[in-house]
């Protein structure tokens, strides 16, 4: 990775640099962008963090305050030059959750399965539990000390994305956690972990409690209103905690279509493959083994017939058989 990072520095030299996460950054994406921003600064490259969505989750807002993360404004995004160097972090180009930004996507740092056909100049890619693990490894391989605040952000992102080291964990994640644990400010982590739910979130949890249906070990929840990606994912984790649920599928209405979050505890069921198969032809989706997300396009909703929920259950049931085969 050291050699590839040196190439990143050469590409970035003399250009405006933007570290772009997916549109609704989660703690892992935000921590990884923040850690990379500091690493580039140490090598003489000033970079800005950018994304197109909004931050609604209280723990993400608190995270941005704690680490003084200032994302690029909408006006600033409009002013970017065509030769701006875009570094995609925790996401790949052509993902449904990545809005195209003015500039050239030349670098990708990601931990999800590689599904894009985009041609990057440099790719730093590993299938690990979190992107924060890759950024931690970059610091180590470059011989850079990890500042306490960066370590705190990275370990929080790692913990959230692996559900406290219980999901999709590799040996590299454990090693990164051990490294970061010694450096992090755990009082900040405690504040972040204790500030993950707002009163307004209870509507989504109420919809889950009232409307959950379990079929063949899959727990389905339809949230009949729009809500942030992070909240949909949180409800998905909540449903997965039920003893009869091994796979959770949660979807919320959004701009005429639907936004999906999927979780899997089945060893032979890859969540990313499951949602990709289930939404084929009517949307798109992807992710890694335990966690995934996707979009059902608005124009596809009429194709599902009068009972949309039944059609979605059938699609996931058929996809489950195909993925297992």
Q: Taking 90 as the threshold, does the pLDDT of residue 230 lie above it?
A: no
pLDDT at 24: 86
pLDDT at 117: 92
Buried b (16+ CB within 10 A) or exposed e, 293-317: bbbbbeebbeebeeebeeebbebbe
pLDDT at 146: 98
Q: Taking 80 as the threshold, does the pLDDT of residue 96 lie above it?
A: no
Helix (H, G, I), strand (E, B) or coil at 122: strand
pLDDT tens digit sequence for 48-77: 999 998 887 788 899 999 999 999 999 999
Q: Taking 80 as the threshold, does the pLDDT of residue 198 lie above it?
A: no
Q: Which fold has domain 2-193?
A: inorganic pyrophosphatase (n-terminal core) (3.90.1640)
What's the whole-model pTM score? 0.77
CA–CA dist 260, 291 (Å, integer): 11
- CATH class held by domain 201-324: alpha beta
Q: Taking 90 as the threshold, does the pLDDT of residue 277 lie above it?
A: yes
Q: Taking 90 as the threshold, does the pLDDT of residue 299 lie above it?
A: yes
pLDDT band at 22 (very low <50, low <70, confident <90, very high): very high
pLDDT at 288: 80
User: Could you tell me if 111 and 168 are in contact, meaning their C-beta atoms sit under 8 angstroms apart?
Assistant: no
pLDDT at 90: 97
Stretch 258-269: mean pLDDT, rounded? Answer: 93
Closest C-alpha among 235, 230, 295 to residue 55? 230
Q: Which residues are within 8 A (CB) of 92 and not within 5 positions of it... i.e. 6 or more apart? A: 98, 108, 110, 112, 114, 115, 116, 118
**Kind of pairing, strands 17-20 and 85-89?**
parallel
User: Could you tell me if 141 and 159 are in contact, meaning their C-beta atoms sit under 8 angstroms apart?
Assistant: no
pLDDT tens digit sequence for 117-138: 999 999 999 999 999 999 999 9
Closest C-alpha among 133, 101, 98 to residue 1? 133
Stretch 261-272: mean pLDDT, rounded? Answer: 92
User: Could you tell me if 167 and 290 are in contact, meaning their C-beta atoms sit under 8 angstroms apart?
Assistant: yes
Classify residue 68 as exposed, middle or buried by CB count within 10 Å of its CB (0-12, 13-18, 19+): exposed
pLDDT tens digit sequence for 156-182: 999 999 989 988 899 999 999 999 999
Stretch 236-265: mean pLDDT, rounded? Answer: 94
Q: Taking 80 as the threshold, does the pLDDT of residue 325 lie above it?
A: no
% of the chain at pLDDT higher than 90: 80
User: Could you tell me if 104 and 83 are in contact, meaning their C-beta atoms sit under 8 angstroms apart?
Assistant: yes
Q: Which residues are within 8 A (CB) of 53 and not within 5 positions of it... i.e. 6 or more apart? A: 22, 23, 24, 25, 99, 229
pLDDT, averaged across the chain? 93
CA–CA dist 175, 149 (Å, integer): 19
CA–CA dist 17, 44 (Å, integer): 12
Q: Taking 80 as the threshold, does the pLDDT of residue 110 lie above it?
A: yes
The domain spans of the chain are: 2-193, 201-324
Torsions phi, psi for 90 (to 5 deg): 65, 25
Highest mean pLDDT among 20-29, 175-184, 186-195, 201-210: 175-184
Q: Find the DSSP H helices in 13-104.
A: 27-42, 58-66, 74-79
């Amino acid at each position: 990775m050291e050699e590839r990072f040196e190439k990143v520095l050469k590409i970035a030299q003399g250009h405006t640099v933007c570290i772009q996460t997916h549109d609704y950054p989660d703690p892992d994406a935000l921590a990884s962008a923040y850690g990379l921003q500091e690493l580039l600064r140490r090598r003489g490259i000033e970079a800005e963090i950018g994304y197109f969505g909004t931050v609604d989750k209280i723990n993400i807002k608190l995270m941005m305050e704690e680490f003084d993360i200032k994302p690029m404004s909408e006006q600033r995004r409009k002013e970017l030059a065509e030769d701006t160097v875009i570094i995609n972090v925790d996401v790949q180009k052509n993902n449904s959750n990545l809005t195209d930004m003015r500039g050239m996507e030349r670098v990708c740092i990601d931990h999800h399965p590689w599904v894009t056909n985009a041609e990057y100049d440099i790719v730093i890619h590993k299938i690990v539990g979190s992107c924060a693990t890759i950024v931690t490894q970059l610091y180590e391989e470059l011989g850079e000390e990890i500042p306490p605040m960066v370590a705190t952000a990275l370990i929080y992102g790692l913990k959230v994305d692996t559900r406290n080291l219980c999901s999709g964990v590799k040996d590299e994640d454990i090693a990164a956690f051990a490294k970061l644990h010694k450096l992090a400010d755990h009082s900040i982590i405690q504040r972040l972990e204790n500030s993950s739910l707002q009163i307004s979130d209870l509507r989504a949890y109420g919809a889950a409690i009232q409307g959950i249906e379990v079929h063949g070990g899959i727990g389905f929840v339809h949230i009949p209103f729009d809500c942030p990606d992070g909240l949909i994912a949180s409800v998905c984790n909540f449903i997965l905690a039920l003893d009869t649920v091994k796979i959770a599928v949660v979807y919320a209405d959004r701009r005429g279509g639907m936004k999906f979050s999927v979780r899997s505890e089945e060893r032979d069921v890859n969540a990313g493959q499951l949602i990709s198969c289930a939404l084929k032809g009517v949307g798109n989706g992807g992710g890694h083994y335990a966690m995934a997300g996707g979009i059902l396009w608005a124009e596809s909703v009429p194709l599902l017939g009068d009972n949309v929920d039944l059609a979605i259950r059938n699609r996931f049931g058929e996809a489950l058989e195909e993925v297992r085969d």
